[in-house]
Chain A
Amino acid sequence: MAELRCSSLAKSYGARAVLDEVDLVVPEGTLTAILGASGSGKTTLLRLIIGFIAPDRGTISVDGSVVAAAGGLQVAPDKRAIGYVAQEGALFPHLTVAENVAFGLPRGERRKGSRTKEALDLVGLGSDYAARRPHELSGGEQRRVGLARALAPKPRIVLLDEPFSGLDAHLRAETREAVTAALAAEGATAVLVTHDQAEALSMGREVAVLRSGRLAQTATPSVLYRAPVDLDVARFVGDAVVVLGQAGAGFVDCVLGRLRTPDSTAAGKVEVMIRPEQIGLVRTADAPARADDPVLADVIGHHYYGPDSLVQLRLRDDARTLISARTLEIDIPEAGDVVGLAVSGPVAVYPVQEPET
């Protein structure tokens, strides 16, 4: 497996720029998730890397050797040794599972069949699948065969295009596990394209957020989630509570009290981004409100999700501010209850652009 490097990639169709100034490095043996809404240019980026289309600007290189350069060298897709798992697997309907997996192998190995079996094992499918036809497989099995087929010829990089879309929750988790295990076993360098935040955060060593053709941020999942570059990204990767505040050195004062922030450069008026699970609820019955400490709020209602719940609150001190808090407790406060709020962990702050008057 190898390192993938995209430098200043740009591609437009007619006047419409689909990708602009995309820089992306996927280190050898790691998985990077490209996260973007539909229409953000994810698929175009993927097709550039595989080689179905040529970049207007920039270069793509694998292990230091250029495979595509704007206006110059353009290695054909079949010569790049980049594996590709299309949406819904795209299995050849006229071939059996084994023939599908063997498709990219040299003629000799195709006949021998050992690598075919190995690749099927890798994705957790036994040899009893070999003779089946694609339409006899479930959706999840089809994706796995698609991955086995891509991995069989030992590609330098594997690209996965929305590999779990359209699967139900249970199958999704199961297939995700099988795919993660297979990729790890092969030590694969992989790029996963998805619009699903949880999928990107849980699978990627790094996550790159693609927004209208530009990479807004590339970071590890935890950095991306806790310190997004802007509020847009913050809201895209998860639920966010945003309030106004006044920042000092390493802290920020807002309606939720004085909170810690790793951003020591920010000063003055800022927007404070807090994840709902950072807001802890203190039941006033257990700890009666003290005048100086906890922030008091009225419970308006809640959304119940099973493992967790999102509680809607209105602040006592500032009735215009509505916020929500995520709680894991079984005993959820009811509408009308009064609770105290305590924020844990650092929060992210973003300077407010003062409107020019």
Chain B
Amino acid sequence: MSVARMTRRRSDVSWRLLGLSAVVAILIVLPIVIIAIQAFQGGTAALADALGASSSRTLLLNSVLVALVATPICGVIGLGAAWFVERTSLPGRRLWALLLVVPLTVPLFVTSYAWSTLSSGLQGFIGAAGIISFSYYPIVYLLVAVSLRGLDQALEDSARSLGLNPRQIFFRVIVPQLRPALLGGLLLVTLDTLVEFDAFVALKFQTFSLDVYAQYRLGFSTSGAAALSFFSIALCIILLLTEGRLRGNANYTRVSRGARRAPVRYELGRWVLPVLAGVGGVVAIGVGIPVGMLIRWFTQSSSAGLSSASGNLQFLWPATRTTVLLGVSSALVALVFALPVAMLAIRHGGRFARLVERSTYLSYALPDLVGGIALSYGAVHYARFLYGSFGLLVFAEAVLFVPFAVVAMRATLGQIEPALEDSARALGSGPFATFRRVTMPLARPGALAAAVLVFAFSLGDLATTQVLLPLNLFTLGTEFQNNSGSVALASAAPFAAVLMVLAMAAAYVLMSRFGTVRAFADGDRG
């Protein structure tokens, strides 16, 4: 019998948890169902037109090409950065850890604007691939870093005693153990790239999502948009399936019990300068370009530009308020959605549980914009009272970013020993009391990380917001967008500045929590 079978404590399925998760899964899949309805609304002819157009094939190819180039780069940067920060004597590790994550939380529409104003040479394919590479590698970085912290030092020690040198250990012992995290990260990057929209607008790079947007804007042809997005969803399902197969038996739970020793850090020696230069270069591109350009927008603007900027300041506070409110509400709703699904995935191994969990990842494949359009369409046709409401926007963002929350909560909940919850039940706590008194306090660091992640992504979302934001409201993102078209970039700069501050704050909270997640879970092993 396998180790996994032995260690997973089977409990009978809790129907309440199953029901709750199923409801969440249905809500999450809802936009996709609406898209299906939309796609066939225009009749098969319109559908065939949209799918058959040679332009859409070229655009699809564009998206795939960017993904093909950017994904391996993300993998190399993410894996390397995680290794050097977590396992070597790199000077200033804490600061690097923070700076390496910032590009993920900085809104992509700001980054892409920064790149496009830096040099016109960065427009088009090179810029697109570059932005994706240097904005999405933190996904790989974070997942691999978590995995690195969970490794058992004893395995490396054994490998050493069997005669392997550090390089061999890295490739033959460490990397195989990191495979699930690495593959998971690469999968997320690929999917994200396929559905990315905001990043490419300023770069004038024609991709698939952009075409979907054009179809929607110009002809209000929702069926075409829906049909096109079917491509990405199909791709996503294929990737999800293959990822499951690639992972296969790579379920490396720690076999041995007993105290886990803190991992050893390798001395960099004469490699310290090259490594510093490499990590510094990554940060310079990922953080330096947006921040640098932001400063230039302020300093190099004409007095007319600056005066229009100061005229815009009155909108700054309400925009910030709406943005934060939207981010916090989306994060909370996403957490509420993610909790039962993550619990189910951790505690019950069955096929149905896996189906429910996987279905929540489907919204990942949904281009933000298409999701927004689908929900607004759905609201108009089936729930008029929701149309144009703030609540619908919150729901949309929660649904779009819930996969991140599920992944983060899964990781945290997975570290909680089932025996703790069992003990609480045996001591007379009901399921909810157990959740409140044991599960939640232990999962708090991870839940906060998940919430901050969703918050950061909602900062970076422009597409959904533009479609679903109530008419009388505006966010930092929409104001940035409205002003960035004008000659005076200074008028857009204040909104970008506040967005940056929020993004960095999010990154900071994320990283400070990140440090405690593992330490806390280890506390009980003593």
Q: Name A residues whose Cβ lies closer than 8 Å to a Cβ of B.
A: 13, 39, 43, 47, 50-54, 76-84, 86-88, 90-94, 103-104, 133-137, 146, 149-150, 153, 155, 159, 166
Contacts and interface: CB of A to CB of B under 8 A. Distances in A.
A91 B1 contact: no
Interface string B493-525: 000000000000000000000000000110111
Contact of B258 (A53, A80, A83, A166): A166
B438 A137 contact: no
A201 B10 CA distance: 29
A81 B427 CA distance: 7
Given A76-B425, A92-B424, A137-B526, 9 more contacts: A47-B9, A53-B10, A78-B431, A81-B428, A88-B419, A90-B420, A91-B524, A93-B521, A104-B427
Interface of B: 1, 9-12, 257-258, 417, 419-420, 422-431, 433-434, 437-438, 441-442, 520-521, 523-526
30 contacts: A13-B10, A47-B10, A50-B422, A50-B426, A51-B425, A52-B9, A77-B422, A77-B425, A78-B426, A78-B428, A78-B429, A78-B431, A83-B427, A84-B422, A84-B427, A86-B419, A86-B422, A90-B419, A92-B424, A92-B442, A94-B442, A103-B429, A103-B437, A135-B525, A135-B526, A136-B526, A149-B423, A149-B427, A153-B428, A155-B426
Nearest to A77: B425
Most buried by B among A50, A84, A136: A84
B421 to A, nearest CB: 9
Contacts of A80: 426
A43 B427 CA distance: 18
Most buried by B among A51, A78, A136: A78
Contacts of A50: 422, 425-426
6 tightest A-B contacts by CB?
A104-B427, A135-B526, A84-B426, A93-B524, A90-B419, A86-B419
B523 A84 contact: no
B11 to A, nearest CB: 5
Contacts of B12: 52-54
Contacts of B433: 78
Contacts of B1: 39
Contacts of A53: 10-12
A136 B523 CA distance: 9
Contacts of A43: 9
B435 to A, nearest CB: 12
A150 B426 contact: yes
Given A52-B11, A53-B12, A54-B12, A134 B423 contact: no
A151 to B, nearest CB: 11
A40 to B, nearest CB: 12
Contacts of A166: 257-258
Contacts of A159: 426
A78 B425 contact: yes
Most buried by A among B1, B423, B425, B524: B423
A78 B430 contact: yes
A239 to B, nearest CB: 28
A92 B11 contact: no
Given A47-B11, A50-B422, A134-B524, A92 B428 contact: no
Contacts of A51: 425
Most buried by A among B422, B427, B521: B427
A128 to B, nearest CB: 18
B520 A93 contact: yes
Contacts of B9: 43, 47, 52
Nearest to A18: B10
A25 B427 CA distance: 23
B426 A93 contact: no
Nearest to B424: A103
Contacts of A136: 526
B426 A83 contact: yes
Nearest to B1: A39
B153 to A, nearest CB: 19
Contacts of A88: 419
B496 to A, nearest CB: 40
Nearest to B5: A13
A168 B176 CA distance: 34
A140 to B, nearest CB: 12
A84 B525 contact: no
A77 B426 contact: yes
A292 B523 CA distance: 70
A136 B524 CA distance: 9
A84 B434 CA distance: 15
Contacts of A103: 424, 427, 429, 437
A243 B395 CA distance: 77
A52 B422 contact: yes
Given A84-B422, A166-B258, A133 B523 contact: yes
A52 B425 contact: yes
B422 A135 contact: no
Contacts of B425: 50-52, 76-78
B523 A93 contact: yes
A149 B427 CA distance: 8
Contacts of B434: 78
A82 B426 contact: yes
B257 to A, nearest CB: 7
A150 B526 contact: no
Contacts of A47: 9-11
A262 B97 CA distance: 75
A58 B162 CA distance: 53
B523 A90 contact: no
Most buried by B among A84, A92, A134: A92
Given A52-B422, A86-B419, A90-B417, A135 B429 contact: no
Contacts of B524: 91, 93, 134-135
A214 B162 CA distance: 44
A75 to B, nearest CB: 12
Contacts of A90: 417, 419-420, 422-423
Contact of B438 (A81, A92, A133, A149): A92
Nearest to B524: A93
B430 to A, nearest CB: 5
A77 B438 CA distance: 16
Contacts of B431: 78
Contacts of B423: 84, 86, 90, 92, 146, 149-150
Nearest to A161: B419
B526 to A, nearest CB: 3
A136 B526 CA distance: 7
Nearest to A90: B419
Nearest to A91: B524
A133 B523 CA distance: 9
B430 A76 contact: yes
Given A90-B417, A94-B442, A104 B428 contact: yes
A307 to B, nearest CB: 29
Contacts of B419: 86-88, 90
A80 B430 CA distance: 11
Most buried by A among B426, B427, B438: B426
Nearest to A81: B428
A50 B12 CA distance: 12
Contacts of A86: 419, 422-423
Contact of A94 (B258, B427, B430, B441): B441
Contacts of A150: 423, 426-427
Contacts of B417: 90
A153 B1 CA distance: 37
Contacts of B428: 78-79, 81, 104, 153
